[in-house]
Amino acid sequence: MRPNFRTSAVILVGLVAVLGIGGLGIRSSMGRYFEHSHPSDAVLEANFNKHEADFESLAQMSRADQKVVRITSDFTWLDTNAAWPRPEAEWGFSKERWDQYRSLFKKLGLQDGIAREKDGEVTYFIASSKGLITHGTDKGYAYCKNEVPTTESLDDVRLLPKGHSIAFKKLMGYWYLFYMSA
């Protein structure tokens, strides 16, 4: 038996309603969901302490490749060109250099690589990303030579400063943990 147009429309409307209601529930509890899905501060701190020299090397590499503002295992963005794919000559560095980045990303648990602000003041080393571009969160490490306001913990997002899309927790020197929401 083949469903008619009316049956198909009812099924479609029902599916949209279920997804819509489910989506509202997810959106309203998103903070709680993300809070428990990122690694804890303690896990990130232990990883940093274990691999501090590798984090320093990665930060130095990023500063040397300052025209490349986003580096992941799958793509690079230049400060003047975020188009992808691009010819290898326009990646911002050699394939061998990219392989060095990929190796360190894997070793350090940086699932989403590095993002640098265009002015170069902060470099984010992204250990965890959840959600979508329009409403998502990232957590990881930040290298910043300027003083930034800090908090004691990034584990409970309900306690983070209101009205801020990013919070920092001091590790040592110029190193911080960060939590960012979009």
Domain assignments of the chain as residue spans, ordered by start = 1-37, 39-181
**What's residue 104's pLDDT?**
98
**What's residue 120's pLDDT?**
78
**What's residue 176's pLDDT?**
98
d(CA 120, CA 110): 19
What φ, ψ does residue 173 adopt, rounded to 5°?
50, -125
Residues 130 and 37: beta-carbon distance below 8 Å: yes
Peptide bond into 85 cis (omega under 30): yes
**What's residue 6's pLDDT?**
43
**What's residue 12's pLDDT?**
38
**What's residue 156's pLDDT?**
86
d(CA 70, CA 146): 20
- Tokens at residue 72, please? 């992941």
65, 76, 91 from 79: Cα distances, Å: 11, 10, 11
19, 23, 79, 125, 157 from 27: Cα distances, Å: 12, 6, 33, 26, 15
What φ, ψ does residue 33 adopt, rounded to 5°?
-60, -50
d(CA 71, CA 58): 11
- Tokens at residue 93, please? 């560095």
**What's residue 132's pLDDT?**
81
The DSSP 8-state label assigned to residue 169 in this structure reads E
Mean pLDDT by 10 residues, the chain (182 residues): 42 38 35 62 98 98 95 96 95 97 98 89 96 86 94 85 84 97 83
The set of residues, in sequence order, having a beta carbon less than 8 Å from that of 10 and lying 6+ positions away, is: none
**Nearest alpha-carbon partner for 141 in 107, 103, 170, 99:** 170
For the entire predicted model, the pTM comes to 0.78
Identify the three-state secondary structure at position 55. helix
